[in-house]
Structure 1
Amino acid sequence: MKRFLSSIRTLALIGTLPLLLIACDSLNPGPTELPNDRWDKLDKQQTVFGEGGLSFGGDQKRQGQGGSGIGVNAYLWRATLDTVSFMPLASADPFGGVVLTDWHSASNTPNERFKLNIYILDQALRADAIRVAAFRQLKNANNEWQAVEIDPKAVTDIENAILTKARQLRSESLTQ
């Protein structure tokens, strides 16, 4: 029993020794602030993850392309929201450049409905910077919605309407 207690004391001493050493280290804490030159570097970066990383308040390179702190072209983003404003939005992510609408039926065609998924793919205001996926459904005889193929020209027309609105917004901002 004495031997058992002796080994427990030895283990306790060995266990507290590192704690004592760590506590002694706090007696001489060293410098508490970064040198000024390191703070200057952080201020000049203007981003969280270095050049090209997440920025706050917009990036000077992006502002010339219509950027306003969002991850996509601001003119395309605004034009997309304006163009599909008659449809209910399911989701809108300005950093990822994704706008998802909910199903919409026009009052004059209650047995037909549409849904759009719009992806803004670039910072530039170009035709290949936007992609639209459109879905159409019709009610069948059993009053159930059934998917129907949509005309590819209709998808192109939606993309062109967004691009036209984006160009109009850009030209308006340049004349002000």
Structure 2
Amino acid sequence: MTKNLIASFSFSRSLVMVSALSLGLVACSSHKKERDLILPENHLVGVDRSATGGDDSLAGGVNAYLWRAALDTLAFMPMLSADAVGGSIITDWYQPVPSNPERFQVVCTVLDRRLRSDSISVVVHRQIKENGQWVDAPVTSHTASDLTSKIQVRARQLRADKLK
């Protein structure tokens, strides 16, 4: 009986040791998840879902080239908000010359996954200072279209650079 008890104890101890070693090896495994191997990191949105360029999209379905081009084009203005998932950029008020009593704000929205002229919307707001108060003023008709054109040219340039 004592022999059986000792053999049973020895077997149990061996089983516990093998189990512990197996768990330890699995826990220390350096195997990356398949997701980690496919989706590279991006400083704007965390996981870069547009690593192959403009044909793929960010999580919200916006064109990556237009998004990057809009950020590049509006970089001279202070940013108030930039939402990569929704594709919207809102700048803070920008005064080109501090002594000039006018300022501008831009709201830019990437609307689509495709790199097309109708995939982006740019709205420019203008204010002038009258009697110490900022009041809304009309924007010249070509201001928004000029910004839109610059963003589209930059997006095409980014795409061409990627294809080289």
Structure 1 and Structure 2 fold alike (TM over 0.5): yes
Distance 1:64 1:107, change over 3 A: closer
For residues 97-147 of structure 1, the C-alpha deviation after alignment (integer angstroms, 9 at most, x for no partner) is: 00000000012653110000001000000000000110001111x111111
Q: Which has the higher contact order (CA 8 A, sep 6+)?
A: 2
Contact 1:92 1:100 in 2 (8 A): yes
**Which runs of no fewer than 5 residues in structure 2 stay unpaired?**
1-33, 35-46
Residues in 2 aligned to 1:168 and 1:149: alpha-carbon distance in whole angstroms: 32
Higher percent of residues as strand = 2
* Structure possessing the higher radius of gyration over alpha carbons: 1
SS in 1 for 2:76: coil
Residues in 2 aligned to 1:63 and 1:132: alpha-carbon distance in whole angstroms: 26
What residue identity is the alignment partner of 2:145?
Answer: T
Structure 2 residue 129 is the aligned partner of structure 1 residue 115: no
RMSD: 2.1
Residues in 2 aligned to 1:106 and 1:172: alpha-carbon distance in whole angstroms: 31
For residues 46-77 of structure 1, the C-alpha deviation after alignment (integer angstroms, 9 at most, x for no partner) is: xxxxxxxxxx6527xx9463436443111101
Give me the identity figure in percent. Answer: 41
What residue identity is the alignment partner of 1:130?
Answer: I
User: How many pairs does the alignment contain?
Assistant: 118
Q: 1:160 aligns with which of 141, 149, 152?
A: 149
Q: 1:92 aligns with which of 66, 78, 82?
A: 82
Distance 1:69 1:156, change over 3 A: closer
SS in 1 for 2:118: helix
Distance 1:122 1:66, change over 3 A: same
**Which runs of no fewer than 5 residues in structure 1 stay unpaired?**
1-42, 44-55
Cα displacement (A) at 1:154 = 1.0
Regions of 4+ moved over 6 Å: none
